[in-house]
Structure 1
C-alpha cells in the first residue's frame, strides 16, 4: 500500500468495500443499470469491484486494461450507462465523506476506463 494514497486516506480495503456495497445498493435499484446485474453473483462482483475501486484510489491494482475490456465485452454498455454509473459513484463517494477534490480525482481515474467498458 502506497503512502499518502486516497486508498490509505479513506481506510483501505475494508472501507472501500463498504463504499462498493453502497454503490451497488443504489445501482440495483436503478432502472437503467440494475438489469445488468440480474443474473450476476453479487458477492463475486462486489469483491471484483472493491479491488477495482481500490486501484482507482491508488491502492493495489488488480486488473489490466485488457482484463477490463474482456470483462465488459459481452455487455452493451453505452455512454449513457457509463454516465449514470459515474453519477452514482460520485454520489456514493460523497455519502461516505470523501472530499469534492478527492471525488474528482477518482472520477478522473474512472473516466480513463470509459473506452475499455463502453461499446
Structure 2
C-alpha cells in the first residue's frame, strides 16, 4: 500500500479504523512517557477522542474536528503546556512506536511522521528556537 494509489493520506492508511488504532496505541505510550505523560489528564478518554477527530481531518478525511470544535487553532490550544524540543521529540517517538505497533506500512509510517513533525515542532513554546 502506497500513497500513489490514494487521494489522501487518510485513505492510504486505512481511514477511520486505522486512525482509531493509531490513537489507541499512541496514548498509553504518551501516558507512560516521563516527559509528556504529566502534561495529560488522568482521564485521557476525551483527549483521545479529540485526537481521533483531529487526525482524521489532518490526514485528509472528514472535517470531524472542525465540525465539532471549530477551527483547530492547535498552536493556541497547546500554549498552556510547556513544550520544548525534547517534548516534541518524545511525542513523535510515541507516535512512531504506535505506528509500528499497529503494523502500518513503513512508507506510510514515514509519511505520517513527516506530516506530524511540522505541527509537533511548531508547538514549541518554551522560548527555545523553533525548528
Which TM-score bucket, shorter chain as reference?
Answer: 0.7 to 0.9
CA shift, 1:112, in A, is: 1.6
TM-score, L = length of structure 2:
0.75
The structure with the largest alpha-carbon Rg is 2
Distance in 1 (alpha carbons) for counterparts of 2:121 and 2:60:
20
Q: Which residue of 2 aligns with 1:58?
A: 60
Indicate yes or no: 2:14 matched with 1:11: yes
Render the CA deviation track for 1:79-119: whole Å, top value 9, x for unaligned.
Answer: 11000111110111111111111111111111121353111
TM-score, L = length of structure 1:
0.82
Indicate yes or no: 2:118 matched with 1:118: no
CA contact (8 A) 1:56 1:106 kept: no
SS for the counterpart of 1:113 is: helix
Q: CA RMSD in A?
A: 2.0
Identify the match of residue 91 of structure 1 among 94, 97, 105.
Answer: 97
Indicate yes or no: 2:30 matched with 1:24: no
Q: Which residue of 1 aligns with 2:128?
A: none
SS for the counterpart of 2:34 is: coil
Structure 2: runs of 5 or more not aligned = 1-5, 126-131
Identify the match of residue 49 of structure 1 among 40, 51, 67.
Answer: 51
CA contact (8 A) 1:78 1:118 kept: yes
